[in-house]
Amino acid sequence: MHNPPDTLRNDARPLPRDTALRDRARKVIPGGMWGHMDARRLPHGYPQFFAGAKGTRLRDVDGNEYVDFMCSYGPMILGYGDPDVEAAADAQRARMGIANGPGEILVELAELMVDTVPAADWALFAKNGTDATTACVTIARAHGGRRKVLVARGAYHGSAPWCTPWPAGTTAEDRAHLIYYTYNDVASLKAAAEAAGEDLAGILVSAFRHDGRVDQEMPTREFAGAARALADSHDAALILDDVRAGFRLHPGGSWEPLGVRPDLAAWSKALGNGYPIAAVTGNDRMRDAARQIFVTGSFWCGPVPMAAAAATLAKLGDGDAVAHMARMGTLLREGIQAQADALGVGLRQTGPAQLPLMLFDDDPKLERGDLFAVTALRHGVYLHPWHNMFLSAAHTEDDIEIALKATGKALEAVARAFP
Amino acid sequence: MHNPPDTLRNDARPLPRDTALRDRARKVIPGGMWGHMDARRLPHGYPQFFAGAKGTRLRDVDGNEYVDFMCSYGPMILGYGDPDVEAAADAQRARMGIANGPGEILVELAELMVDTVPAADWALFAKNGTDATTACVTIARAHGGRRKVLVARGAYHGSAPWCTPWPAGTTAEDRAHLIYYTYNDVASLKAAAEAAGEDLAGILVSAFRHDGRVDQEMPTREFAGAARALADSHDAALILDDVRAGFRLHPGGSWEPLGVRPDLAAWSKALGNGYPIAAVTGNDRMRDAARQIFVTGSFWCGPVPMAAAAATLAKLGDGDAVAHMARMGTLLREGIQAQADALGVGLRQTGPAQLPLMLFDDDPKLERGDLFAVTALRHGVYLHPWHNMFLSAAHTEDDIEIALKATGKALEAVARAFP
């Protein structure tokens, strides 16, 4: 766990109700919390527990309100409690929440995914991003019976034993057929493909390099093209992990702007604007393999998240939402850069403006980042010190203005503490 | 896929809207459907798509209504759209559907699980039963760094590569550290433990033997005791997969009546009365290991399914719901037995009355079972020809009476067709 410097401890707002809940949680949850939402990964002062969510605002259990730039780590894309999504979900729930099979909405949503995603000839639905990435790997292996899958070093593709970033409880065999390459490094990708040889089943790529704690990188055209060409020459599957970035860079898939289409893609997070759903899409070359595998879950055919997803896709539209998120993200990014330049604070803002990451120069222990984030938080803006953030279609220029007031204070604090 | 005999094709109700949806689905979903809800696993005449669910009744997209004895393969336990569960979920959703962390309901639900389950000192939550079983195996391995896990031959523990029943797309390494035993066979369990030797991490057991297409078996006290003793002597984890049976045999876990407590247990299905949620519970011996692993998902902290789960547990109560399900299941079972005896039809009803399975004697191709099930379906009762069924707390004596009218007709059809 990340230990904040003592200076931060003193400055943070007291969170008595949050503290009391953490005390209770430690008794009945190992360590008090688990996974990516564990607030011990964040500087002191961040709340663990939330009580309200509406539009772009979150309220913690102590009544503090924040303009949110994490969007629940991605799922929120139209605003918390979006009325159109909620209405679609409510209407479905009033008819049928779950049954011995899917509703008509399954077919409608699969058709909508195929219409929305140019690379997709078909779709399957699940619950977790990990379900989708794992199914993609399984389909890639079923297609042709080969085993090796190329994965970028440091990339996050879920928390199953084959991909979880922490080794505890996993075995060497869980990753026996993974071969690692470096994102955007064509030579390393080619070397990995060569090592796989005749046994190459798939090449797994993130939409862009979004590994956390390091600068983000957009894929180069050379890298994307090389991945596509290697998959083609080996009759392997190019698998796009669009779980994190999906619907924020392009409505039809994050590699559409590059002109490179995957054979399989994994989706989740923003698909249902917070309702639990994931999807695998694929092309006709992978259809038979997808038919051969057995993947399922008790709630995978639940029609309510599917209705939410269909409403989300409809409202996101043909690119207006992406353009809006890019514009808001750019306003935020340019505003922060101007503030930092005026103060002489060195920082790097990387990746797409819709999924921004900020890291400070000369900040190996993330002390500047922590101070920045926790100061912004105290001024009512929820940012993240080392994980990419998320814009949504609900963010307004007013939200950005509020954010920039907070980042101004936060950058001043950094300039004072690290002169 | 299971091919129904031609005689059944002629008798089944036409389902024009279902047929049209299947035609559309085949274009955009590999094979038209996937997983355990694929109606091609059922005889001709079963609908694939549903339009309504209320109480114990399902309505298919062609307007046919059924008294349902599958309960969505388990999740429904209080009735579809139970008003108390829906009210709790609605109230939570109005406040917050998802956020950058959990709500207070996470702590409340974990406390409730620990209060409800005598073997549990802590809980974690996820989405799929597979998430829970996989996390249990991972925790068992993290505890002590050993690798081998004993699994009953033919048991279903989910659809991840290490446990999916279909081999397509999996590799030998996915199961490199599984050692198989035969359920209820103490000698085979001991031999498996011996084969694992110093590398034994866990013993995975289903609540009872519910493998599908074969008679169900309750665990013997000898088997349960041997599993507990072997886990103890190896400092390994006894893992109870209570995903399917959980909350139907005993509110505190399906092995409570045996007096044998697991170190880890996997839950899902009925926990949220249809809302997507899964849980891992464990004892203090496994707490450190649980803290060491990284498992997570975008929606695992979603408070709405947690609110539904807390309401479900509260309404299930201390054993009244279990007793009611057992009583209704016994009424159904005894009624069917009397009908079969009167007609001289040989059948076997196995497992707990709350999760009944019926298989016919001399029925290697399940032709009798198919004819029985599809005839009952035509008379408005949704049974399953080879998978265990599910009673719920919402089933009434009227429902059983309707069911017995249908099973009477269905058994007559079997007696006529197979004299």
pLDDT in tens, A120-174: 999 999 999 999 999 999 999 999 999 999 999 999 999 999 999 999 999 999 9
Q: Is the ipTM of this complex over 0.95?
A: yes
Contact indicator for A35, B126 with CB cutoff of 8 Å: no
**CATH number (domain holding residue A76):** 3.90.1150.10
Percent of chain A with pLDDT over 70: 97
Number of structural domains (chain B) is: 2
Q: What is the pLDDT of residue B11?
A: 65
Same domain, B279 and B413: no
Angle at B170 between CA B240 and CA A75, to 5 degrees: 75
Summarised one tens digit per residue, pLDDT across range B210-238 is: 999 999 999 999 999 999 999 999 999 99
Interval A177-198 mean pLDDT? 98
Contact B256, B220 (CB under 8 A): no
What pLDDT is recorded for position B35? 98
Q: Given an 8 Å threshold on Cβ–Cβ distance, is B106 in contact with A29?
A: yes
Helix ranges (DSSP H) in A124-197 = 129-142, 186-196
What are the start-end ranges of the E strands in B11-84?
50-54, 57-60, 65-68
Whether residue B196 is found in the same domain as residue B268:
yes
Assign B13 a pLDDT band (cuts: 50, 70, 90).
confident
Is residue B330 assigned to a domain? no
My answer on whether A296 and A328 are in the same domain is no
Rounded CA-CA distance A125/A107 in Å is: 11
Residue B366 belongs to a domain:
yes
State whether A92 and A72 are in the same domain. Answer: no
Domain presence at residue A1: no
Residue B97 sits in the same domain as residue B68: no
Mean pLDDT rounded to a whole number for chain A: 96
> Of A270, A296, A316, which one is at a domain's C-terminal end?
A316
**Higher pLDDT among residues B163 and A12, named by residue:** B163
Query: A109 pLDDT band (50/70/90 cuts)?
Result: very high
Report the pLDDT averaged over residues B356-372.
Answer: 97
CATH number at residue B133: 3.40.640.10
Mutation target to probe the A interface, by most A beta carbons within 10 A, among B64, B86, B299, B392 is: B299
Token output for B282: 């464990």
CB A283 within 8 A of CB A82: no
Q: Which of residues A278, A297, A316 is at a domain's end?
A: A316
Give the closest of B34, B101, B103 to A295, CB-based: B34
pLDDT of residue B12: 74
**A128 shares contact with chain B (CB less than 8 Å):** yes
Query: Are A391 and A283 part of one and the same domain?
Result: no
Residues A29 and A172 in one domain: no
- Whether chain B has a CB inside 8 Å of the CB on A171: the answer is yes
Domain match, A23 and A40 both: yes
Closest residue by Cα to residue A360 from A374, A345, A373: A345
Same structural domain, A70 and A147: no
Whether residue A398 has pLDDT greater than 50: yes
**B52 touches A at CB < 8 Å:** yes
The answer to whether residue B301 is domain-embedded is yes
Contact B128 A298 (CB under 8 A): yes
B336 in a structural domain: no
Q: So what's the pLDDT on residue B1?
A: 39
Mean pLDDT computed over B232-251: 98
A 89-118 → B contacts, CB under 8 A:
93, 95-104, 106-107, 110-111, 113-114
B61 is a domain residue: yes
Residues A358 and A345 in one domain: yes
- Chain A (247-276) residues lying within 8 Å, Cβ to Cβ, of chain B: 268-269, 274-276
Do B71 and B112 belong to one domain?
Answer: no
The answer, for A292 touching chain B at a CB cutoff of 8 Å, is yes
Residues B171-210: tens digit of each pLDDT:
999 999 999 999 999 999 999 999 999 999 999 999 999 9
Q: Are residues A176 and A281 in the same domain?
A: yes
Q: Which residues span the domain enclosing B238?
A: 87-316
In a domain, B155, yes or no: yes
CA distances from A9 to A14, A208, A271, A384, A409 (A): 10, 35, 37, 17, 18
What integer is the mean pLDDT of B351-362?
A: 98
A325-347: average pLDDT: 98
List of chain B residues whose C-beta atoms are within 8 Å of the C-beta of residue A137:
169
Domain boundary among A316, A349, A372: A316
Asked if B211 has any chain A CB less than 8 Å from its own CB, the reply is no
Query: Does the residue A246 lie in any domain?
Result: yes
Counting every residue written for chain B, the total comes to 419
Residue B353, C-beta contacts closer than 8 angstroms, at least 6 positions apart: B325, B326, B328, B329, B330, B332, B333, B391
End-to-end CA distance of chain B: 27
